[in-house]
Structure formats: C-alpha cells, structure tokens
Amino acid sequence: MWHVLSMAALLLAPASLSGAASQWLRISTPNFELLTDAGEKKGLTAIARLEEIRSVFGFSAPAPRVFVLASEADRKMFDLHEFKPGSFLGTPERNYILLRDVDERIVYHEYTHFVFARTHGPLPAWFAEGAAEFYSALGRPIPGHIARLNAEGWLPMDTWLAGGGSALFYAQSWAFIHMLYASRSYRDQLPGLMKRLEEGAPAARAFADAFGKPLADALGEARLMAGRSSITLTIKGPLPAPQIEALPDTTATIALADLSLDLNRYDHAFKIYSELARNRPQDPAAATGLGALALRRGDYAEARRLLRRAIELGSREARTHYEYAMLVRESKGPPAEVIESLRRAVELAPDFSDAKYLLELAELGRKQRETATAVRASKPQVTVPKSWNNPEGDSRLDAVLEQVDCLGAQARLWVSANGKRYGLAVREQGKIPIRNSGGVTFEFKCGRQEPRRLGIEYLAKPDALAGTIGDVTALEFH
C-alpha cells in the first residue's frame, strides 16, 4: 500500500559496546532482533535503516529475524555474494532477512519483500522486484537504472515477464512499477492489479482487467516516463533507540543452526546440533533441533522422543511444545498431554494463532467427550458410521488452487502460496466440507483450474512419494 508520511529526524545514541568484529552481538528494538558478527557500527546502521523503512510502511506485524554476516563461510552457506548483498527468505517457521551489505537501498529492498510477503499472495517477479526497488529509493528516481535502460534498451515484454536476475530486469521492473505508483491514474487501480496477479491471472490479462488497456501500451508509456516523474515517501519518527548485548557463541551457533534448518540445509544443521548435543547434553536446543530434523525426515517416533527430551530440559521454544502436541495427537496419545503442550506453547507465544486455535479445538473436544460419557451412561449406545465423521485438520494454508490430479478414488490438489507450490491429498474424492458454507459441497474436476483463492485445513502428513504435505480436511473459498 502507498504511504506518504511526515519526515522526522532519526537520533540513535545507544551505549557503546567495544569488541572485535568477530564477536556476535544482538541488537534489538521493540520491532526487530538483529544478530551480527560484522561489528557494532554495521549492525546499528542496519537496524536504523530497518526502522526507517518500517516507519514508511507503518507495519506492525512480527518482524523477521535479521542477520548481518561477516564470516565468508556463513555468507557462502547462505548464498550472499558480491551480486547478492541481501535476501529475504520466507519459511513456514520464521521469516529472515540476511545481509552482507547494509546500504540503505539494500536494506529497504529486502524489508519491502517481507512486507509484501505478509500482506499479499504470491506476486510475479517483475512486480515483486519492481516494488522492492521502488521502495528502496523511497519513490525517488534511481539514476543507475535510468542510465542502464538508456544504454542497453528495454527487454522484450515476454522476456521481461518471464523474470530473471539481470540488472536490466531489475531496472525495467523498477521503471514500470515506479510509473504505476507515481501516476494517480494508475496508482488508484493498483489494488485491482495485485488482486488479479495474486489469483494467478497472466500479467497481460490481469493488467487489462485492472486498467482497461493493454500491458504493452503501458510498458511503452513507462519507457517515455522513466526518470521524469517522482513521488516521495518519507520516514516517520522518532524511531526507537536499539539495545546492544554481547551474544554467547553457543547462542549464535544455535541461531545459525535454526536458520540452516528452516532453509532445508539439513546436513549443516545436523552437524551443528549433533556437536551441541555432545558438548552441552543438558541444553534443550540440541534436542529441539535434532527433533525437528527427525520430524522433517518422517521419523515421528524419534521426533516425539527428542522433543519430549527438550521439554524435560526446560525448552522455552513455543514451537517445540506445539510440534510435540501434534505428534502426540497424531499418534493417538493422551488428549490431556496434547492440551498441556498446546497451553504451554500459547503461554510462551501468545500470538501463536495455530496453537491457540488447536488448543480451543482440543479443549472443546475434551468437553464433548465428557458430555458424551455422561450421555452414554444414561442412554443405550448408538453406533455411528465412521464415514459420517470428518477429520479435523491441524494446519492451515491460504493459497491459490491451480490444478486437481484425479487418482482413482483419491485426488491431489496443487496450490501456490508464499511463492511456493504445494501438493495436498484428498482421501475421499468428490466431497470436502466447506467450513463457512453450511452443507454446500465442492465437486472436483480434473486438470488445470481457473485460479481461485481458498483456505485449506489439512492434517500435516507429508508423503514424499505422492509429493503432498498433508491430507485435506476442509476448504474455505474466498
């Protein structure tokens, strides 16, 4: 969303911590947690710029974890190099911003990706990168992009829409999105374009639907307007002063291991957690990490054992308690143990919506079981066919339906969400409950689907052979 906010001075004067650049520091504000081995000055610069761009958006959602990395080994591990000085990485567990360089435009660019990931569905690269570049300059013209377009010319429309990482692609994407934001006739209709793109509509169709004109014509306008218009986004202050603390090496190591785990670098994560388990057997972080790895490889019994071990050692990670509850529930363990672990997860993370939702379901289920027990004590038992009951999901995904594969008596849905494609299994093809539509049912048709947004409740049961992440239990169409 477009914002113009009042300008205010940025004054950051925290107490200084001396130390070598190799010392890990945690630099934090109420809005950010930044971990760095690149020194105090670079870390403070990065967090100041994060606060600046956050104020432009006025965004208050839980922030990503930020790393500013100096170690070449870590930079190589996480793919930061001369031509990729920063990246935003959205994962199901946590969002990350990784920085090699803390230049103003780089920090603003990556934070913009985070905001759009939290507020919109999947967007094509030309729009996402163009918007990130637009905000990276706070709406001002970018001379380097203008010079490149003048020197190299513009990419053909089909080539540009196909995406890519070239400097010319970024320049052209910026110029086009800059025109859309800077021109009131386009800017007022931008939400309509983004909605159609999120629904999966091809770029040309989405643009025509939103603006009533061909995309090719607008691209021609952008060529003429590049650098000739401007709009100013300004920083709102005062901005919070950061707190600085030295970070123990073990804590930094665990944070990097968690990052490796979330980015599916399992070998690296396993090496770190295993070494930690040998050296610090009473540290719950080692059991938590190894339990998470066991969960990802489908060894649920070992995952349950390790996560239980982490809880016994005093883990204060909400997700440890949540994942343990799900494993107990999946294995038909004691409902009281499920409720206890979910309650602990919510205590540790009051904003953990999935845990709160499932805790409410579990407590409701317990009350229903207690009521049913009392009823059975006074009435003859009635056998209810199993097919009358719909299973409850333990996970939720908001996505765009793309395709339905019909597999005999079953089906597989292909959906896109957060820039990724997921498969979900439908065990009883033909009818799936629609949560907010009473008794309405959805009849599947095989093959490609007209893109449509929907919420999916499912049981998280990854099946590597089928390529699915779980079994659908309910749908909610938007």
Under the banding of pLDDT at 50, 70 and 90, the label for residue 13 is very low
For residue 406, give Cα distances in angstroms to 223, 350, 425, 441, 457: 46, 40, 10, 17, 20
Q: What is the pLDDT of residue 15?
A: 33
* Res 135 pLDDT > 50: yes
pLDDT single digits (tens) 256-274? 988 998 888 889 899 999 9
Instruction: Calculate helix-pair angle for 143-152, 167-182, nearest 10 degrees.
Output: 120
Confidence grade of residue 388 (pLDDT, cut at 50, 70, 90) = very low
pLDDT at residue 386 greater than cutoff 50: no
Question: Of 225, 256, 289, which residue sits at a domain end?
Answer: 225
Choose the most confident range, by mean pLDDT, from 377-381, 384-388, 413-417.
413-417
Same domain, 291 and 323: no
What pLDDT is attached to residue 152? Answer: 96
Predicted confidence (pLDDT) per residue in 179-212, tens digit: 999 998 899 999 999 999 999 999 999 999 999 9
The answer as to whether 48 is a domain residue is yes
pLDDT at 4 over 60: no
- Cα within 13 Å of Cα(199), Cβ side: 18
- 362 and 216 in a single domain? The answer is no
Q: For 300-342, how does the pLDDT look when each residue is reduced to its tens digit (9 = 90+)?
A: 999 999 999 999 999 998 889 999 999 999 888 999 999 999 9
Each residue's pLDDT tens digit, 343-370? 999 999 887 888 888 898 888 888 877 7
Residues near 223 by beta carbon (within 8 Å), at least 6 away in sequence: 149, 154, 175
| Residue 1: inside a domain | no
Q: Give the mean pLDDT of the chain.
A: 85
pLDDT for residue 378 is more than 70: no
In angstroms, rounded to a whole number, what is the distance separating the alpha carbons of residues 243 and 327? 38
CATH of residue 437's domain is 2.40.50
Q: Are residues 357 and 430 in the same domain?
A: no
pLDDT digits (tens, 9 = 90+) for 411-449: 889 999 877 889 999 887 656 677 654 444 455 678 888
Instruction: Return the number of other C-beta atoms located less than 10 Å from residue 43's C-beta.
Output: 25
**Domain closes at, from 375, 409, 425:** 375
pLDDT of residue 436: 55
- 70 shares a domain with 198: yes
The answer to whether residue 386 sits within a structural domain is no
pLDDT value at residue 384: 42
Same domain, 51 and 135: yes
What is the predicted pLDDT for the residue at 379? Answer: 58
The vertex-198 CA angle with 189 and 204, nearest 5°, equals: 65
Q: Is residue 304 part of a domain?
A: no
pLDDT > 90 in the chain, percent: 50
Distances (CA, A) of 154 to 98, 139, 167, 171: 30, 21, 11, 9
- Are residues 454 and 424 both part of a single domain? yes
If asked whether residues 339 and 452 sit together in one domain, one would say no
User: Residue 445's domain spans which residues?
Assistant: 395-477
Which pTM was predicted? 0.68
Residue 369 belongs to some domain of the structure: yes
Q: Based on the domain organization, do 257 and 136 belong to the same domain?
A: no
Q: For residues 188 and 277, state if they share a domain.
A: no
CB 197 within 8 A of CB 116: no
User: Does residue 370 sit in the same domain as residue 472?
Assistant: no
Is 33 part of any domain?
yes
> What does the pLDDT look like over 87-132, one tens digit per residue?
998 876 688 999 999 999 999 999 999 999 989 988 999 999 999 9
pLDDT tier at 3, thresholds 50, 70, 90: very low
Question: Given this model, what pLDDT does residue 9 score?
Answer: 25
CATH code, domain with 83: 1.10.390
Q: Which residue has the tokens 């939103």?
A: 210
What pLDDT, on the 0 to 100 scale, is given for residue 8? 28
pLDDT at 172 over 70: yes
Residue with tokens 């699915």: 468
Rounded to an integer, the average pLDDT of 261-290 is 90
Confidence of residue 243 (pLDDT cuts 50, 70, 90): very high
The answer to whether 104 touches 133, Cβ cutoff 8 Å, is no
Quick one: pLDDT at residue 431?
Answer: 61
What pLDDT sits at residue 418?
Answer: 79
Work out the percent of the chain whose per-residue pLDDT is above 70: 88
Instruction: Based on the fold, state whether residues 324 and 179 are members of the same structural domain.
Output: no
Same domain, 181 and 268: no
Give the span between the Cα atoms of 263 and 78, in whole angstroms.
9
Q: What is the number of structural domains in the chain?
A: 4
pLDDT band at 44 (very low <50, low <70, confident <90, very high): very high
Would 3 be classed as within a structural domain? Answer: no
Domain membership of residue 308 (yes or no) is no
The H or E element spanning position 476 is strand 471-477
